[in-house]
């Protein structure tokens, strides 16, 4: 791994780290203000496929987070970029609220499958349609493969189990574009101009947020909010650089020890 440099950029997960659906993590807004006052560039990275970037931004503004659209990098953006690069016509197995992020993409007579979190569409008929496309040679593009995520009423299945089912049934491997893929983190950092060795990632998912970031060369801070479960930090090697109670505690550590 490259030598560690002075910290210049902080990547922050959204759902589970700054907020859980329509409720902010206590103290997160003030902590973000303190982080912005320091000499670091802040970016927000999310695997969410439940809503478009615009809807997500409106949710964050209602929660009084000072975040602009160009600071958010989503796995939906990464998926659209890949669809355009490959010049395919995707069957979009995504939540209807995420469709605006694919405006202008041709979906007639699909020859690819793009799958995200789509609870209303994960039924036999649509999954079987995707299965048949894959058998005919269509590529499977997974926006991410998270096992589960945090809702207000508890943990819920993510898209990962459904992606894995299609992989198993068709004997294919999905192209994964979201966290924990190295290309996702590098793309999120690209407009900052900084290297992974100059960045830290804060998130509630030990594998996708912290493991993915650390495999890219960043430091990873795991917070015990959102989807965190006891002993999650033992599930990756190397373990997180730091495990702490919440986003405000992560910011305190950065300000006191990394700058």
Answer with the one of 112, 145, 176 that is the final residue of a domain.
Answer: 176
Same domain assignment for residues 136 and 191: no
What pLDDT is stored for residue 50 in this prediction? 77
Domain range holding 122?
76-176
Query: 50: which 2 tokens?
Result: 């439940």
Are 158 and 193 within one domain? Answer: no
My answer on whether 123 and 83 are in the same domain is yes
Q: Per residue in 69-85, pLDDT tens?
A: 999 998 898 899 899 99
Side-chain-side CA neighbours of residue 114 (13 Å): 31
Looking at the 3D structure of the chain, how many domains does it have?
Answer: 2
Residue range 120-151, pLDDT digits in tens: 999 999 999 999 999 999 999 999 998 988 88
Based on the fold, state whether residues 223 and 137 are members of the same structural domain.
Answer: no
| pLDDT over 70 (residue 119) | yes
Per the model's pLDDT, the better-predicted residue between 149 and 10 turns out to be 10
Q: Same structural domain for residues 105 and 171?
A: yes
Residues 133, 107 share a domain: yes
> Tens digit of pLDDT for each residue in 50-60?
788 888 999 99
Which band of pLDDT confidence, cut at 50, 70 and 90, is reported for residue 42? very high
Inside any domain, residue 70? no
Nearest to 166 by CA among 99, 93, 78: 93
**What per-residue string of b and e applies to 189-220 under the rule 16 or more CB within 10 Å gives b?**
beebebbbbbbbbbbbbbbbbbbbbbbbbbbb
Proportion of the chain above pLDDT 70, given as a percent:
99
Residues 147 and 110 in one domain: yes
The answer to whether residues 103 and 91 belong to one domain is: yes
Q: Are residues 21 and 37 in the same domain?
A: yes
Which pLDDT does position 3 carry in this prediction? 65
- Is 211 inside a domain boundary? yes
Total residues belonging to the chain = 259
When pLDDT is cut at 50, 70 and 90, the band that residue 49 belongs to is confident
pLDDT on residue 2: 57
Residues 204, 127, single domain; the answer is: no
Q: Which two tokens stand for residue 180?
A: 């924990």
Which H, E and C letters describe 200-218, residue by residue? EEEECCHHHHHHHHHHHCC
Let me know if residue 57 belongs to a domain: no
Q: What CATH number did the domain enclosing 235 receive? A: 3.40.50.1000
pLDDT tens-digit series, residues 147-201:
988 888 899 999 999 999 999 999 999 999 989 999 899 989 988 999 999 999 9
pTM of the model: 0.84
Residue 189 shares a structural domain with residue 248: yes
| Distance (Å) of CA 117 to CA 159, 160, 236 | 5, 9, 24
What is the pLDDT, as a whole number, of residue 166? 97
- What does the alpha-carbon distance between residue 61 and residue 131 come to, in Å, rounded to a whole number? 39
Q: Tell me the pairing of strands 112-115 and 90-93.
A: parallel
Picking from 108, 142, 176, the residue at the C-terminal end of a domain is 176
Q: Which of 141, 176, 211 delimits the end of a domain? A: 176
- The angle formed by the CA atoms of residues 202, 244 and 249, to the nearest 5 degrees, is 75
Same domain as 167, residue 80: yes
């Amino acid at each position: 791994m490259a030598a560690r440099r002075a910290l210049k950029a902080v990547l922050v997960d959204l759902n589970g780290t700054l907020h859980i659906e329509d409720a902010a993590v206590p103290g997160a807004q003030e902590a973000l203000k303190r982080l912005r006052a320091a000499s670091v560039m802040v970016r927000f990275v999310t695997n969410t496929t439940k809503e478009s970037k615009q809807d997500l931004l409106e949710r964050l503004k209602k929660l009084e987070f000072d975040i602009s659209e160009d600071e958010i990098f989503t796995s939906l953006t990464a998926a659209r970029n890949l669809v355009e690069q490959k010049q395919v016509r995707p069957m979009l197995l995504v939540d209807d609220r995420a469709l605006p992020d694919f405006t202008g993409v041709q979906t007639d007579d699909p020859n690819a499958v793009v799958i995200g979190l789509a609870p209303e569409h994960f039924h036999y008929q649509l999954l079987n349609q995707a299965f048949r496309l894959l058998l005919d040679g269509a590529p499977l593009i997974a926006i991410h493969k998270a096992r589960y995520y945090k809702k207000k009423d508890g943990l819920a299945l993510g898209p990962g189990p459904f992606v894995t089912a299609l992989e198993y049934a068709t004997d294919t491997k999905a192209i994964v574009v979201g966290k924990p893929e190295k290309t996702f983190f590098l793309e999120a950092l690209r407009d900052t101009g900084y290297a992974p060795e100059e960045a830290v990632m804060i998130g509630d998912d030990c594998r996708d947020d912290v493991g993915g970031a650390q495999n890219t060369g960043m430091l990873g801070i795991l917070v015990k909010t959102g989807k965190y479960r006891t002993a999650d930090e033992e599930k990756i090697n190397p373990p997180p650089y730091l495990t702490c109670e919440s986003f405000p505690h992560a910011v305190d550590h950065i300000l006191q020890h990394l700058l």
